[in-house]
């Protein structure tokens, strides 16, 4: 892991086993994903597959980092947290590891991304949201997960290209549901560790704005998934809590996104 930033500034620096309900859903998603056409030649002309391949680096940029972050949080904070809260953090670590396996299977069936720039930008973003203070790192991860939930909620809406493909819908909607739970756990843990609402709001704004800067250059790929640039901007604005946005539930429970 690269060095982390300290403080409230964004120097723009993952239980239970697969026996839980979420694990069962994603195990099924794994099996469904294997039915996605495996021929690279067949996939190469598929605009949806290409768009997903291009977007994956930015959509899942926090997965591996979050797995490591929650693992470290359990080690360093277990003495300061109730047993139930520690177990919840362990469950997130397991979720993120499971996501990695599912997405790895999916990537094997996708064409290569057309550019490596999004992956490099995503790596920089992940470094930027890292914090040495575990509570502040959890606040940043909660903000990122909330933004991701809003975007995936739009991508998975009925009638949109992804929703018409059961394999892909199972994968991404399963991840969205997991991340919504992660938002609640991360925020509650950060508050238990002493962070106030102002710090959580600051994380929501700075991480949300940085995530928007990461995703907006990929507007053409999002358009293939049924989200035009205007909607993408509005969803990201809502996630960052910018003036003029609303807290309409866009894929996570209101308590998970409330300031």
Q: What is the pLDDT of residues 93-149, one digit of tens each?
A: 888 888 888 888 888 888 899 999 998 999 899 888 888 888 898 899 999 999 999
Check residues 222 and 102 and name the one with the higher pLDDT. Answer: 222
Torsion of CA 27, 157, 154, 71, to 10 degrees: -20
Q: Which pLDDT score is estimated for 240?
A: 82
pLDDT-above-70 percentage for the chain: 73
Average pLDDT over residues 42-48: 59
Distances, alpha carbon 111 to alpha carbons 5, 15, 117, in Å: 35, 33, 16
- Phi and psi angles of residue 80, each rounded to the nearest 5 degrees, phi first: -100, -5
List the Cα angle 126/252/49 in 5-degree steps.
60
Distance CA 161, CA 196 (A): 40
pTM for the model = 0.77
Residue ranges of the domains in the chain?
Answer: 21-257
pLDDT of residue 108: 82
Average pLDDT over residues 246-251: 41
Q: How is domain 21-257 classified at the architecture level of CATH?
A: Orthogonal Bundle (1.10)
């Amino acid at each position: 892991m690269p060095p982390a930033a300290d403080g409230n500034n964004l120097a723009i620096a993952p239980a239970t086993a697969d026996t839980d309900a979420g694990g069962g859903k994603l195990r099924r998603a794994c099996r469904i994903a294997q039915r996605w056409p495996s021929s690279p030649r067949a996939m190469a002309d598929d605009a949806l597959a290409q768009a997903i391949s291009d977007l994956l680096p930015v959509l899942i940029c926090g997965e591996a980092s979050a797995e490591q972050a929650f693992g470290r949080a359990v080690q360093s904070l277990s003495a300061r947290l109730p047993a139930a809260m520690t177990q919840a953090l362990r469950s997130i670590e397991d979720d993120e590891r499971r996501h990695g396996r599912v997405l790895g299977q999916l990537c094997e069936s996708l064409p290569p991304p057309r550019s490596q720039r999004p992956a490099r930008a995503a790596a920089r973003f992940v470094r930027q949201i890292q914090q040495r203070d575990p509570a502040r790192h959890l606040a940043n991860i909660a903000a990122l997960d909330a933004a991701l939930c809003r975007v995936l909620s739009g991508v998975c809406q009925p009638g949109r290209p992804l929703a018409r493909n059961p394999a892909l819908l199972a994968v991404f909607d399963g991840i969205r549901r997991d991340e919504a739970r992660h938002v609640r756990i991360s925020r509650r843990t950060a508050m238990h560790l002493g962070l106030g609402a102002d710090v959580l709001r600051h994380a929501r704004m700075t991480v949300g704005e940085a995530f928007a800067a990461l995703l907006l250059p990929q507007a053409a790929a999002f358009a293939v998934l049924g989200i035009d640039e205007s909607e993408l901007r509005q969803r990201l604005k809502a996630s960052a809590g910018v003036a003029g946005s609303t807290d309409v539930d866009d894929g996570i429970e209101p308590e998970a996104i409330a300031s």
